[in-house]
Structure 1
Amino acid sequence: MTMTTPNWIADVTMEELERDPYPFYERLRAEAPLAYVPALGCWVASTKEMCKRIAGTDDSDFEGVIAPAGRRTFGDPAVLDANGAEHDDLRAMVDPGLQPSEVDRYVDALARPIARRYLEAFENDGEADLVSQFCEPVSVRSLGDLMGLRSVNSDKLREWFRKLSVSFTNAGVDENGDWANPEGFTPGDEAKAEIRAVLDPLLDKWTVEPDDSALSHWLHDGMPPGQVRDREVIYPNVFVFLLGAMQEPGHAMASTIAGLFTRPGQLERVIDDPSLVRRAITEGVRWASPIWSAVARRNHRDMVIDGIELPAGSVVMMSYGSANHDENDYSSPAVFDLDRTPVPNLAFGAGKHACAGTYFATEVVRIALEELFEAIPNLEPDTDHEVDFWGWGFRGPVELHAVWEV
């Protein structure tokens, strides 16, 4: 396989993809929409049409699967890696509390006080790093409180998702298919040990004293009277949520602000008209997708797709961040444009394995941005700091410095 892989694909490194995946994926879209990438040890679908064709199929051709680094990070059974009845059972565990009608019941009372609390800490300072002081804390606190982790401080929740992210994106392999950096999984292992130590007593408590937290519902819902769900079923999915769901709203929020910072006139319009916040979020997650390339599919049989032979059992990474820059659907895709003709994007996936928390994440971002723009209507980017994005699996600004007159 490697003998037929073009050099420009064979030579790409994980470091290049983490720093800036866009040039490489732009060329993939143009020349090899379905390609084997040796650095990742898997195939990559880079166009919107290819991602939809593979991710949107039922389980008869492709099944949901976690890329090897993800499996090493989460363990089994994780909802991203389950199929058929097992997938249905796991989604039945996590989905009910994330349905739009249920989210509408609780999200404002959950997220708005959290956003206000973090804003009060810096709104009179005239400057802030919005990633570390607002976007990520609001994101992790909102999900943490929903899950029942009120006793875990926001800095620890951020530490957990960062360590899990390091492990999940440690996808590099050598020429033998072995991990290029096995030590890259150590941070994730440390986080998982801490998470279990914190959650075990809470799960003990919820077993005999259930409450309205998400994890209490995961224990009890759908189980026969007197029984609770096995913790070894719960924990892999806790890790999924503490990684993806913890950082998705924060990254979406920061990317939307960063995009608006590139268009001062559009930022002013959104601040003046809160009804435009939803539209700004939609463009923000298209422009810089939080789940950039973090989910995969595996085919059941030998296939030929557009002349490309795909052997049975091939892992195909869905590069949604690339698909959302597909020139066939979006003109000038690298430009943030609030007035772009609305075209559905793949920021939160497609098919049966689409993100369960799409509506919850979007609503948390909406509420937080409403509060931010109301509290600081003269928000501007701090031109002394560049906006540095990072990540290939999950992507968002590392820092986002802003200033305003007090």
Structure 2
Amino acid sequence: MTVPILQQIFDDAYHRDPYPTYARLRAEGGVHPVALPDGSPVWLVTTEAEVRAGLTNPLLSVNKDHAGPGFKGFSLPPALDANLLNIDAPDHLRLRRLVSKEFTPRRVENLGAKVRQTCEALARRLHDDITTNGAADLVADLAAPLPLAVVGDLLGVPEQDRGPFASWVGAMLEPKSPGDVAAAVAHIHDYLLHLIALRRRAPDGNLISGLISVRDEQDRLSENELLSLAFLILMAGIDNTQHVISGGVLTLLQHPEQLDALRADPRLLPEAVEELLRHATPNHTAIRRFPTTDVEIGGTVVPAGDTVLLCLASAHRDPTRYPDPDRFDIGRQDKAHLALGHGLHYCLGAPLARLQIRVALDVITRTFPGLALSLPAEELPWRRSFRSHALKQLPVTLGTCS
């Protein structure tokens, strides 16, 4: 077999704006051998048809046991690694059925009033910071703390524990020095053990209590599965949601005619959320996959064990799937997207994510009619990651505030 030449695509231009790189790759073909920033080889799938097919291909496993020697992915402790993102059918279906019994639409619906209350309180803090300092960071003041508070409510984290809890999550998502991630993971692991023990002694009706009941009464969730599910809900429920909110606000500010339409008719909010998930999804690739046997993708044979990354963000800008795909349009008729997954691994928390994004955009657009960037868009700081295109900060100011 001829070893493919790896493309080096993750340069400064990519991190500023990855979409021109995706457009070039799509024009050259549906799948490409590229080198990740650490030098490890992956196959990047870029066209919508192949990405969508890959998300449901049973030959592409999420189980790291099928990874070849070239895989250098981050490893969690075993107690946190037995989550839905790393498990194939049939175990995935068993876990998903159990979680679905507790992570219900009614539970999400019951969070609605609290989500709005929390968001409005954070909006007042944002307003106060802008008034005091002339500008403020929408990420730090609203987009990041909102999902953290919501997940804290969902899991039943006591108020007095939320400060340390927030600091550990922040250190894991945005480490400032070597060792921060490992230390944060250890703290979170220990805290989740404490929280599960607490809720076993004193159930409170929140999700952790429900999951404990599923395990203890039916003996179908192992302790590691319970811990891993709590960890997955924590990480998936915070990081992606905050970046959709901040990226969504930026996108609306850059498209004032769309923002005006949304303010004029708030009934468009659900449509706006779907178009934002298509146009500005921060999570650019799905969880890595490993072929269990040699598999053909887009006319290219990918060897068993190689790492495959399905590029959701590129799929969303594929002109063979979406007319004028680079245009942001909340009135677009076909806004179907893959931002929340497809098939077996469709996001279990999708209703909660949509709820938070919708409420946040509603509160922000109503409360801050004069909201504007406080520095040029090209100077905004972005996370340097091949996995996501996410704002580190969104400095804003305002003209008038209701």
TM-score of Structure 1 vs Structure 2, range by shorter chain = 0.7 to 0.9
Gaps of 5+ in 1: 168-182
1:148 to 134, 151, 156: 156
Alignment partners' CA distance in 2, 1:325 and 1:215? 38
Partner residue, 2:321: 329
Alignment partners' CA distance in 1, 2:4 and 2:220? 52
Partner residue, 1:83: 88
Q: Which amino acid is 1:322 matched to? A: S
Residue 245 of structure 1 contacts residue 361 of structure 1 at CA under 8 Å; is this kept in 2? yes
Deviation of 1:90 (Å): 2.3
**The 10-residue stretch of structure 1 (18-27 or 188-197) with the greater mean CA deviation from structure 2:** 18-27
Alignment partners' CA distance in 2, 1:318 and 1:238? 25
Partner residue, 1:109: 113
Alignment partners' CA distance in 2, 1:152 and 1:73? 27
2:397 to 378, 384, 403: 403
Partner residue, 1:339: 331
Deviation of 1:153 (Å): 6.0
Q: Which amino acid is 2:332 matched to? A: R
Between the aligned residues of both structures, percent identity stands at 24
Q: Which amino acid is 1:247 matched to? A: D
Paired positions, count:
383
Deviation of 1:94 (Å): 3.1
**Superposition TM-score, scaled by structure 1 size:** 0.84
Residue 270 of structure 1 contacts residue 276 of structure 1 at CA under 8 Å; is this kept in 2? yes
**Quick one: structure 1 residues 307 and 23, their matched pair in 2 at CA, closer, same or farther if it must change by over 3 Å?**
same
Q: Which amino acid is 1:251 matched to? A: H
1:196 to 176, 189, 193: 189
1:272 to 226, 250, 264: 264
Q: Secondary structure at the match of 1:84?
A: coil
Give a deviation string over 1:250-302, Cα, whole Å, max 9, x none: 11111111111111122122123211122221121212213211412222222
Give a deviation string over 1:146-191, Cα, whole Å, max 9, x none: 1112336666555444443468xxxxxxxxxxxxxxx96x332111
Q: Secondary structure at the match of 1:111?
A: helix
Partner residue, 1:43: 43
**Quick one: structure 1 residues 13 and 230, their matched pair in 2 at CA, closer, same or farther if it must change by over 3 Å?**
same
Q: Aligned runs of 1:260-299 on 2, under 5 Å?
A: 260-299=252-291
Partner residue, 1:121: 125
Residue 262 of structure 2 contacts residue 269 of structure 2 at CA under 8 Å; is this kept in 1? yes
2:248 to 242, 256, 259: 256
Q: Which amino acid is 2:340 matched to? A: F
Deviation of 1:102 (Å): 3.7
1:365 to 357, 369, 372: 357
Residue 137 of structure 1 contacts residue 154 of structure 1 at CA under 8 Å; is this kept in 2? no
Residue 131 of structure 1 contacts residue 250 of structure 1 at CA under 8 Å; is this kept in 2? yes
Alignment partners' CA distance in 2, 1:162 and 1:112? 23
Whether 1:21 aligns to 2:18 is yes
Give a deviation string over 1:314-341, Cα, whole Å, max 9, x none: 3311211111111222344333222333
Q: Which amino acid is 2:391 matched to? A: P
Give a deviation string over 1:95-115, Cα, whole Å, max 9, x none: 3344434422x1212311111
Gaps of 5+ in 2: none
Deviation of 1:233 (Å): 2.1
Residue 46 of structure 2 contacts residue 314 of structure 2 at CA under 8 Å; is this kept in 1? yes
Residue 21 of structure 1 contacts residue 392 of structure 1 at CA under 8 Å; is this kept in 2? no
Alignment partners' CA distance in 1, 2:127 and 2:280? 26
Q: Which amino acid is 2:23 matched to? A: E
Give a deviation string over 1:104-139, Cα, whole Å, max 9, x none: 2x1212311111111222325444321110111111
Alignment partners' CA distance in 1, 2:282 and 2:276? 9
Residue 294 of structure 1 contacts residue 394 of structure 1 at CA under 8 Å; is this kept in 2? no
Partner residue, 2:27: 30
**Quick one: structure 1 residues 245 and 394, their matched pair in 2 at CA, closer, same or farther if it must change by over 3 Å?**
farther
Which aligned runs of 4 or more in structure 1 are off by greater than 6 angstroms?
Answer: none
Q: Indicate the RMSD between aligned Cα atoms, in angstroms.
A: 2.8
Alignment partners' CA distance in 2, 1:302 and 1:14? 30
Q: Aligned runs of 1:373-384 on 2, under 5 Å?
A: 373-383=365-375
Alignment partners' CA distance in 2, 1:155 and 1:206? 19
Residue 107 of structure 1 contacts residue 364 of structure 1 at CA under 8 Å; is this kept in 2? no
Residue 215 of structure 2 contacts residue 222 of structure 2 at CA under 8 Å; is this kept in 1? no
Q: Which amino acid is 2:328 matched to? A: F
Alignment partners' CA distance in 2, 1:83 and 1:380? 45
Residue 388 of structure 1 contacts residue 399 of structure 1 at CA under 8 Å; is this kept in 2? yes
**Superposition TM-score, scaled by structure 2 size:** 0.85
Residue 381 of structure 1 contacts residue 401 of structure 1 at CA under 8 Å; is this kept in 2? yes
Partner residue, 2:234: 242
Partner residue, 1:207: 200
Give a deviation string over 1:322-365, Cα, whole Å, max 9, x none: 11111222344333222333231111111101211111101111
Residue 291 of structure 1 contacts residue 395 of structure 1 at CA under 8 Å; is this kept in 2? yes
Alignment partners' CA distance in 1, 2:199 and 2:304? 43
Deviation of 1:19 (Å): 4.7
Give a deviation string over 1:193-243, Cα, whole Å, max 9, x none: 111232222211212322212122222215436x68443223333333332
